[in-house]
Amino acid sequence: MARLWAIIPAAGVGRRMGGTLPKQYLDLAGRTVIDQTLHGFIEHPRIVGIVVALGAEDGYWETTAYAAHPKVQRAPGGAERCHSVLNALTVLTAQADAEDWVLVHDAARPCLRRSDLDQLINSLLDDPVGGLLGIPVRDTMKRAGADERIDATVERAHLWHAYTPQMFRLGLLQRALDSALTAGDLVTDDASAIERLGLAPRLIEGHADNIKITRAEDLPLAQFYLQQQGRCV
Ligand SMILES: Nc1ccn([C@@H]2O[C@H](COP(=O)(O)OP(=O)(O)OP(=O)(O)O)[C@@H](O)[C@H]2O)c(=O)n1
Ligand SMILES: C[C@](O)(CO)[C@H](O)COP(=O)(O)O
């Protein structure tokens, strides 16, 4: 039976957040952001192991709650998220099978609900491609021209926000990311690499509170969501 592994890309520097501390190490509801994110995967009985991709200059990881946890391993982060994920996949190949499932989840998304994680897993375990959590867009979508004026209104009927986890078989994802990077395509999510192979990942609707902490205003919002979920320590 295929096992399930998690990869947590955590090698970013958080430029859009500002500040000196990488955003994955900011305090959030009594834990660090990365500990809030890891907690759900550490506690999940189906996840057999977790690989965290860390920046070369990361001087904070050892102070976190799960740095020495037996379920957790490290991988070297790369220049972009896609490089970090591919490095983590390389760590996994020594201990996992090509048909094992890998769930790639941003360290910067600490508000993932257990119910959404379970829905993703249960929906995709027999899927021939894999897929990801997301939500349909709710606003009218505009494409901006170079002058920051509206170039077009984009049909929103089938537009979704791509979230994480993104869940694919280890061998397929490794092959897809390797192909993308070899072609110089620095894909911003894992599904894009799969799409490049002509495959169509499945979108699983989750909750809008699975936000990615990107800018300063996202932190208090994440705090609110964790309070709503009863996850403040
Ligand atoms: N070279 C990189 C860049 C990003 N990430 C991770 O990928 C996730 C999503 O990336 P993003 O939100 O862009 O984080 P940062 O790159 O830190 O943000 P910024 O672009 O503002 O610097 C984050 O958990 C981040 O730590 C990574 O592992 N390796
Ligand atoms: C993977 C992702 O979170 C899906 O929306 C997003 O692509 C990450 O982008 P970032 O620029 O690395 O934050």
- DSSP annotation of 6: E
Looking at residue 214, its pLDDT comes to 98
Residue 160 near residue 137 (C-beta atoms within 8 A): yes
Q: Is the CB of 188 under 6 A from ligand 2?
A: yes
Pocket test for ligand 1, best of 24, 36, 52, 81 (most atoms within 8 A of CB): 81
Digit-coded pLDDT (tens) for 137-148:
999 999 999 999
**Percentage of residues of the chain with pLDDT beyond 70:** 100
Does residue 232 register a pLDDT over 90?
no
| 4-228 fold | Spore Coat Polysaccharide Biosynthesis Protein SpsA; Chain A (3.90.550)
Q: What is the pLDDT confidence band of residue 60, given thresholds at 50, 70 and 90?
A: very high
Q: Is the CB of 83 under 6 A from ligand 2?
A: no
The CA angle 135-103-106, to the nearest 5 degrees, is 65
Question: Taking residues 112-136, what's their average pLDDT?
Answer: 98
Question: Taking residues 155-182, what's their average pLDDT?
Answer: 98
Q: What is the pLDDT confidence band of residue 191, given thresholds at 50, 70 and 90?
A: very high
ipTM, two decimals? 0.98
Q: What is the pLDDT confidence band of residue 115, given thresholds at 50, 70 and 90?
A: very high
Straight-line distance from the first to the last Cα atom of the chain, in angstroms, rounded to the nearest whole number: 36
| Short-list 139, 194, 185, 141, CA closest to 166 | 194
Digit-coded pLDDT (tens) for 195-217:
999 999 999 999 999 999 999 99
